[in-house]
Structure 1
Amino acid sequence: MQVNIGINEEQRKAISEGLAVLLADTYTLYLKTHNYHWNVTGPMFQSLHTLFEQQYQELAVAVDDIAERIRALGEFAPGSYKEFAKLTTIKEADGIPKAEDMIRDLVKGHEAIAKTCRNIVPECDKASDEVTLDILTQRMTVHEKTAWMLRSLVA
């Protein structure tokens, strides 16, 4: 059946393309955070191990929400490493960084996702897509707050 939600096909496609980048960024940051959770060492081990677990669990929920919004707009969500690697703006980490470098790297990832969200807002505004705007606002809130809290650990 045709999607008839008051947003034309061209706008739905453009918004979905932006959301696909957001999905790839979110999944990439999820993997990176999970990796750091497993591999962090040093005097901050216990607190960072716990913190990173909370963060990757939150990102796992976000991945599902973003993918489901793409589907609600009538498009297919990317769902493979290959697709995510092409779309993401977040760089993979080489090796296992030291704990403070993990923190700095995660700050960059959260800030990158906040920027990705902002890049989608104009298309959503044009289409009066308040549902996607709400998702983007929620994601920016989480990522900006998380980046601030992580930055505070290495100030």
Structure 2
Amino acid sequence: MSYKVSPQSIGFNPAEAERAARAMNQYLANLQVLFIKFHNVHWNVIGMSFFDIHEKTQGLYEHVAVEIDLIAERIKMIGFYPVGSLKEALKLATIKELPSNVDLNGPTVASIVVKDLRKLIAQLREISQNVDSTYTGGFIEDALSYYEKQHWLFSAYLTKE
């Protein structure tokens, strides 16, 4: 008897499970890029809003770290391999890296975060619409809710009074 997990061993349609794994792997790749990018802006923010942005970006990368593990483990649970190298992640990701040798003020960081969260939210909506939640374990809906709230918070920060 084989103990290796496969889509069939847990009652999943192999083609649907593979489609779900591909979608979640691209999401995982974006999270891996964001994990580094959120650290980058966290370390390189300067100016009057340093304390607020420094704290908020720390919250983002801490959340993303947990999300990375949840999604990677879900991909394994349905019988596939998660993207586990930076080379593979950069190839799959639609979110781009940021140079690390630049000082950034609070509004610039917030604009970068809002732009990337919009991409992530759009990706999550697409996964939610095209992949049955039994394959994603319901994690996509939870992530969508979190990132929508973060988008709202950073957008409010950028709104002129």
TM over 0.5: yes
Question: What's the secondary structure of 2:138's corresponding residue?
Answer: helix
Q: What amino acid sits opposite 2:110 in the alignment?
A: I
Q: Deviations over 1:75-133 (max 9, x none)?
A: 001111111111111122245233211111111111111111122224423xxx43516
Question: What's the secondary structure of 1:36's corresponding residue?
Answer: helix
Gaps of 5+ in 2: none
TM-score by length of 2: 0.88
Q: What amino acid sits opposite 2:150 in the alignment?
A: T
Gaps of 5+ in 1: none
Moved over 4 A (4+): none
**Percent of aligned pairs with the same residue?**
30
Counterpart mapping for 1:1-155 below 5 A: 1=4, 2-3=6-7, 4-94=9-99, 95-96=101-102, 97-125=104-132, 129-130=133-134, 132=136, 134-155=138-159
State which drifts further: 130-139 or 46-55. Answer: 130-139
Q: What CA RMSD, in Å, does the superposition of the two structures yield over aligned residues? A: 1.5
**C-alpha separation in 2, matches of 1:87 and 1:142:** 23
Q: Deviations over 1:38-85 (max 9, x none)?
A: 111000111111111111101100000010010001000111111111
- How many residues matched? 152
Q: What amino acid sits opposite 2:120 in the alignment?
A: I
